[in-house]
A and B are shown apart, each in its own frame.
Chain A
Amino acid sequence: MEYLNLFVKSIFIDNMVFAYFLGMCSYLAVSKNVKTAFGLGLAVTFVLTVTLPVNYLLETKILRAGALTWLSEDFANVDLSFLSFIMFIAVIAAMVQIVEMVVEKFTPALYASLGIFLPLIAVNCAILGGSLFMQQRDFGNIGLASIYGFGSGIGWLLAIIGIAAIREKISYSDIPKPLKGLGITFIITGLMGIAFMSFLGIKL
């Protein structure tokens, strides 16, 4: 039950895009058509699902104050948490490299359409944000951390597909000229965010 609750919460209530504005850069740049958006969303979900458990282990077994006691009792006073940024980003960069190679091998078409944004997943704030929130929230076990990563990824996927679909339709609408493109996308995202806020307080 706890898992399901966290899963739903991470998709709808703590949505990466609408509640924390994470991953906005690629969200705005790659949301011009649904297909590419879907591909990027899947890649982000995958990277989040893989990096969170790895970073969770790093955090609990190596970085946290006194985490190294499993190695030797002498390390009980060692606190490496100031290294967490650099460790997390290294894990993420490595994972993204793997995803990039897999995508290039199996779906060259998707690889071509994602272009520069695939390697840039490494600097997608949603991914590092996931790890940092995980560190902040102190999840009890690795299962919860993985579920949180997966749920956040799905939430991001939903958000980018939604905006891509709207942008496809809106290209036929009559929008004031200065507002076209970037401006209206921001405002629509804001309105979607307000809609998503209606999920606030749902508890399973």
Chain B
Amino acid sequence: MLSEKNKEIFLGPISKNNPVIVQVLGICSALAVTAQMMPALVMSLSLTAVLAFANVIISLMRNIIPNRIRIIVQLVVVAALVIIVDQVLKAFAFEVSKQLSVFVGLIITNCILMGRLEAFALGNKPWPSFLDGIGNGIGYSVILLIIAFFREFFGSGTVFGIQVIPDAFYEWGYANNGLFILPPMALIVAGCIIWIHRIKNPDMQE
């Protein structure tokens, strides 16, 4: 089931070939939903689900899709999956879906989807495509959760909405860094993650 090659497909995207910080795909939503852990987690799960199933569907149809209209076909498949995810979120996690606002819809135009569909699903069998989808989804989730952790920890002193910095600290004059809640900090945190990643992987330096 997990041959050597499939293992590589599955594990590669988690660090060495990470979709966000190496392939530079899907940055938009990666940064926008990371002010807190909870929306980031829900977003990661939604994207992983959509990516895995879109990969499988496109891979099943790869021999019958005419090359010229493949982008439209991909968009329709992805849009249909995203509509399902959106409706599920509205039904079962309404609060979070309100917080995510337009970013659930924007999964449609998430570059990870188009990138993986184009680069992988169009030329591979369904099972490796499924693994590729899950792997890339996890790679995306890892980055999202790291950014969200730092932003929520420093910005509001909480993790998943639970206070982790003790009250005593605040009494001694510790204050939350409001800057971390603001959008630009997401970019700077992501920049620092890339910095560390490149130190660990010198062959990727430019």
A residues in contact (CB < 8 Å) with B:
18-25, 28-29, 82-86, 89-90, 93, 119-120, 122-125, 127-129, 132-133, 136, 176-187, 189-194, 197
Q: Would you call B141 an interface residue if the criterion is a C-beta within 8 Å of the partner chain's C-beta atoms?
A: no
Closest to A20 in B: B32
Contact B111 A123 (CB under 8 A): yes
Contact B24 A128 (CB under 8 A): no
Contact B24 A93 (CB under 8 A): no
Q: Would you call B27 an interface residue if the criterion is a C-beta within 8 Å of the partner chain's C-beta atoms?
A: yes
Contact B72 A93 (CB under 8 A): yes
Contact with A along B183-194 (1 / 0, CB 8 A): 111111011101
18 A-B residue pairs with Cβ-Cβ distance under 8 Å, sorted by A, are A23-B28, A25-B28, A29-B24, A82-B87, A83-B83, A85-B83, A86-B79, A93-B71, A123-B108, A123-B111, A132-B106, A178-B196, A181-B205, A182-B194, A183-B198, A189-B184, A190-B191, A194-B182
Q: How far is the CA of A185 from the CA of B109 in the complex (A)?
A: 22
CB-based A-B contact count at 8 angstroms? 142
Report if A182-B86 is in contact (Cβ < 8 Å); known contacts: A20-B32, A25-B27, A193-B183.
Answer: no
B residues in contact (CB < 8 Å) with A:
21, 24-32, 71-72, 75-76, 79-80, 82-83, 86-87, 101-102, 105-106, 108-111, 114, 182-188, 190-192, 194-196, 198-199, 202, 205-206
Residues of A within 8 A of B72 (CB): 93
Name B75's contact: one of A25, A89, A129, A133 (CB within 8 Å). A89
Contact A89 B198 (CB under 8 A): no
- Give the Cβ gap from B68 to chain A, nearest Cβ, in Å: 11
Interface of A is mostly: helix
Report if A24-B27 is in contact (Cβ < 8 Å); known contacts: A86-B83, A186-B194, A190-B185.
Answer: yes
Q: How far is the CA of A139 from the CA of B109 in the complex (A)?
A: 23
5 closest Cβ pairs, A-B complex: A193-B184, A186-B191, A190-B187, A181-B206, A178-B198
- Give the Cβ gap from A168 to chain B, nearest Cβ, in Å: 15
Closest to A86 in B: B79
Residues of B within 8 A of A120 (CB): 111, 114
- Give the Cβ gap from A105 to chain B, nearest Cβ, in Å: 19
Max chain B Cβ within 10 angstroms of own Cβ: one of A18, A89, A181, A197 = A89
- Give the Cβ gap from B183 to chain A, nearest Cβ, in Å: 6
Residues of B within 8 A of A132 (CB): 102, 105-106
Closest to A15 in B: B183
Contact A127 B109 (CB under 8 A): yes
- Give the Cβ gap from A4 to chain B, nearest Cβ, in Å: 25
Residues of A within 8 A of B194 (CB): 179, 182-183, 186
Contact A178 B75 (CB under 8 A): no
Q: How far is the CA of A28 from the CA of B28 in the complex (A)?
A: 11
Report if A186-B108 is in contact (Cβ < 8 Å); known contacts: A20-B32, A85-B86, A180-B206.
Answer: no
Q: How far is the CA of A132 from the CA of B188 in the complex (A)?
A: 26
Residues of B within 8 A of A20 (CB): 28, 32, 183
